[in-house]
Amino acid sequence: MALLISPDTHEPLREVEENGAKYLTAGSGQQYRYLNGFADLTFPKVLTDKEKTTLDFYENRADVYDQFLYQTFKTHGEDEVQVRNTFIDKLNLKTDSKVLEIACGTGRDSELIANRLGKNAQLVLQDISPSMLKKCSQKLEQYNIDKQFCISNAAYLPFPDNYFDATYSFGGLGEFPDIKRSLAEMVRVTKVGGKIVVGDESMPPWLRDTYFCKVLATTNPQFLAEIPFKEIPVEARKVTVQWVIGGIFYLLDFEVGNGEPVGDFDYEIEGVRGGTLRTRLEGQLEGVTKEAKEMAIKAASKKGLSMHAWLDEVVRQAAKKDLL
């Protein structure tokens, strides 16, 4: 309970029992119920049409999901456990890591993650489908680690800032109605320096006009989805992408940084122009005539100054005179 927060206001939650029923509440009054034994922290509580469709799909397939998923790997002659383990390798897990898996489904990756964790670790499993989450919880019963489960929307995670060492989600990102916000939420709840690994279907551009693509996209149009490069948060560092499982799923991994990247923009640039990277952006003035520019170049050269140094001196002197 100490882990969960309101997905709306980020306030701590406390458990209340009323007339024999338990629910979670935040200081500002929001209430969240339990569903099938899991805290239901879905927000907004009224789902979008896409979320409803996704929820209905997985609720209706939870009992048979594991029965048919192997075919994805069989089609491409790949060993599912071996391939999934290569994905999880990218999380750089330690035995005491705090790990979040988003859209955990029936727990096919969850088991492999749990295998790498020790008694001092924590594994948190999230999904929007209670039935899929139940299947996952059943698979993890045998693992003697701190594991917690919750129902929520991936775009409004009920976890505190900078909490997890690693966040993982494979196979669900394309179903999220707001991928940009979901990735931003993953960054929010992951520590600076932590790893995020996500992936889903996406046929690479060089295969989109092939018979291979036509066959697969006929059964699953999601293979025509684009990789969400534009949705990757600015905090992403050391970003890599590869195509996996027959080369038709993408796998993105990156390290979480602190805000935008920073650079040394203030060293003096050698050469005729001179100046710094920062002055070339922030010090721009209106253009002059071609003749004035040519005269300035000659004057700067005669004085042995870069164009930046000469212009800066001339402009300062003229401005001081006119400001008197």
Q: Is 3 inside a domain boundary?
A: no
Residue 50 is encoded by which pair of tokens? 């896409």
195 pLDDT exceeds 90? yes
Can you give the CATH number for the domain in which 141 is found?
Answer: 3.40.50.150
* 83 and 206 fall within a common domain: yes
- Per-residue model confidence as pLDDT tens digits over 140-156: 999 999 999 999 999 99
* 162 and 284 fall within a common domain: no
* 55 and 152 fall within a common domain: yes
Is this structure's pTM higher than 0.85?
Answer: yes
Q: How many domains are there within the chain?
A: 2
Q: Is 9 inside a domain boundary?
A: no
Q: For residue 91, which amino acid is it?
A: L
* 198 and 113 fall within a common domain: yes
Mean pLDDT score, 208-225: 97
* 57 and 191 fall within a common domain: yes
* 298 and 208 fall within a common domain: no
Domain span at 223: 43-256
- Per-residue model confidence as pLDDT tens digits over 73-128: 999 999 999 999 999 999 999 999 999 999 999 999 999 999 999 999 999 999 99
- Which secondary-structure segment (H or E) carries 321? helix 307-323
Distance separating alpha carbons of residues 267 and 280, to the nearest angstrom: 12
Distance separating alpha carbons of residues 234 and 230, to the nearest angstrom: 10
72 pLDDT exceeds 80? yes
Measured between alpha carbons, how far is residue 268 from residues 182, 213, 264, 303 in Å?
A: 41, 52, 10, 18
Q: DSSP label at 225?
A: P
Backbone angle region of 244, left / alpha / beta, with phi > 0 → left and psi within -120 to 50 → alpha: beta
Q: Is 120 inside a domain boundary?
A: yes
Measured between alpha carbons, how far is residue 122 from residues 70, 198, 213 in Å?
A: 28, 19, 40
**One-letter-per-residue 3-state SS of 29-72:** CCEEEEECCEEECCCCCCCCHHHHHHHHHHHHHCCCHHHHHHHH
* 171 and 226 fall within a common domain: yes
Q: Is 33 inside a domain boundary?
A: no
Q: Is 18 inside a domain boundary?
A: no
* 63 and 166 fall within a common domain: yes
Q: For residue 92, which amino acid is it?
A: N
* 89 and 224 fall within a common domain: yes
* 50 and 178 fall within a common domain: yes
Measured between alpha carbons, how far is residue 320 from residues 111, 288, 311, 312 in Å?
A: 71, 20, 14, 12
Q: Is 117 inside a domain boundary?
A: yes
* 172 and 49 fall within a common domain: yes
* 191 and 303 fall within a common domain: no
